[in-house]
Amino acid sequence: MAQGEELRTRIKEVMVDELMLDFDPAEIEDTTPIFGAEGLGLDSVDALQLVVAIEKHFGLKVGDAEKAKSILQSVETIAQAIEAA
């Protein structure tokens, strides 16, 4: 399993591919908020797709809404959850 910067780059690539984002993965900062106007602007439908993509590509199961809320804040928080699993 990838770790560190390689993992963060892979997460960005998965997000862009799976959610069909109009971003280059390199444009996404590790700490950019995933939701909200000041971030990537994703919505609840995107969140569901992202949870499925994370499980599919990284094997991380996000079981409940509270866990998802803490994990799906930024690329950094997703990477930390994957590394800790």
What is the per-residue pLDDT for 15? Answer: 97
What is the per-residue pLDDT for 2? Answer: 74
What is the per-residue pLDDT for 63? Answer: 83
The domains of the chain are located at 4-84
Q: What percent of the chain has pLDDT above 70? A: 99
Local confidence band at 6 (pLDDT 50, 70, 90 cut-offs): very high
pLDDT at 71 over 80: yes
Could you tell me which CATH number the domain at 4-84 has?
1.10.1200.10
pTM (2 d.p.) = 0.94
3-state secondary structure the chain: CCCHHHHHHHHHHHHHHHHCCCCCHHHCCCCCCCECCCCCCECHHHHHHHHHHHHHHHCCCCCCHHHHHHHCCCHHHHHHHHHHC
Local confidence band at 65 (pLDDT 50, 70, 90 cut-offs): confident
